[in-house]
Amino acid sequence: MPGYVAILIIILCSLAAGACLYWGFFIEVKRVQVQKYNFSVPGLADFWQDKKILCLSDLHVGEGLPLDRLDYFLGLIRAEQPDLLLFAGDLSESADLFSPEEREAYLQSLSQLKDLAPLGFYAVRGNHDIESPAARDFFNQAMGAMGAEALVNQGLVLHGLQLMGLDDALYGQPDLAAACSVAHPDPAPLQAFVSHQLGISSPKKACQEESHSPDNTQEAPADPSRPATQVPLQAQLVLLHEPDPAAAYLQAGGFSVPTLFISGHSHRGQIRPFGLQLYKPCQAKHYPYGLYDFPQAPGKLIVTAGLGTVGIPARFAAPPEYLVIQL
């Protein structure tokens, strides 16, 4: 009898493992969740009342997000009818391996987002967007296809809300001083403070032992003509791909109005056995997922799980998601 019990246990464990694998590879990767946040800002222009800001991150189109699933996700986003659309980085997973036909198919699919948001579509670069020439080229092409503007250490002001985008902290050159220049006449001390807080000259050096920065020769684009208003600055929204530097940026003390940072990169661990986030990538170790409050700043940080996958094309206890934010 004990032998039969052991065999039964083995069979049940095998079935459970198989069920978990099937769930992770074929079910959960499609079960998109919508995380909704309210960022209340007293005195913010009435213009923002009932406006919907939608942020997506970590698409990883390619092995991390095949074309049929991408079309499905983009259909959900289109149905939201956002007023302002944001992207927090990592557009492709394996752009170096795309055939010309695959590249064109992904660009055609991404073009569904063009002209979707009346207030515009703004993005920042993630580590996978600038890790190789092919990735940088695909990112730039996708920006054109989607009608999006990449904010590489740049900012603009929309009806009392300053939107800023910082470059990737691993392979890029984030520059808080440049991004803040719209609202701060002399922001250089902010960047100096951040460097001091991090103990390094730029956030990417914190991970030199874990990753090696590839050659990155792309320069930030020249400032285009931007829609601006004369409404006094009431709030700031900062896009950055990796979340950990946000705390140092907030502690810099240069944010005189409520500030919300939005990032991705962590995938919420992507595979979380028993709900434990075992994997926390570099620059997402301290703030791996969810909403973090920094009352002394004042400011908040939201880290999203993103939509695609990296490495293993599966998710477990970390479903794909996008953010909907109302001010």
Alpha-carbon span 179 to 254, nearest angstrom:
12
Q: 């207030």: which residue's tokens? A: 119
Nearest to 254 by CA among 147, 167, 180: 180
Alpha-carbon span 231 to 144, nearest angstrom:
30
- Amino acid at position 281, single letter: P
**pLDDT score for 207:** 55
**pLDDT score for 35:** 97
Nearest to 310 by CA among 48, 126, 142: 126
Q: 């997973």: which residue's tokens? A: 93
**pLDDT score for 62:** 92
Mean pLDDT by groups of 10 residues along the chain of 327 residues: 71 74 85 94 87 97 93 97 97 90 96 96 97 95 97 92 94 87 52 46 48 40 47 86 90 76 96 87 94 85 96 93 95
Helices of type H across the chain: 2-22, 67-80, 100-110, 133-146, 176-180, 188-198, 246-251
**pLDDT score for 25:** 85
**pLDDT score for 220:** 37
**pLDDT score for 94:** 83
> What secondary structure letter does DSSP report for 207?
G
By the 8 A CB rule, do 304 and 34 touch? no
**pLDDT score for 224:** 42
**pLDDT score for 230:** 54
By the 8 A CB rule, do 161 and 327 touch? yes
- Tell me the three state secondary structure of residue 233: coil
What values do phi and psi take at 163, rounded to 5? -105, 125
> What secondary structure letter does DSSP report for 78?
H
Look up the pTM and report it.
Answer: 0.86
CB-CB neighbours of 97 under 10 Å: 11
> What secondary structure letter does DSSP report for 288?
-
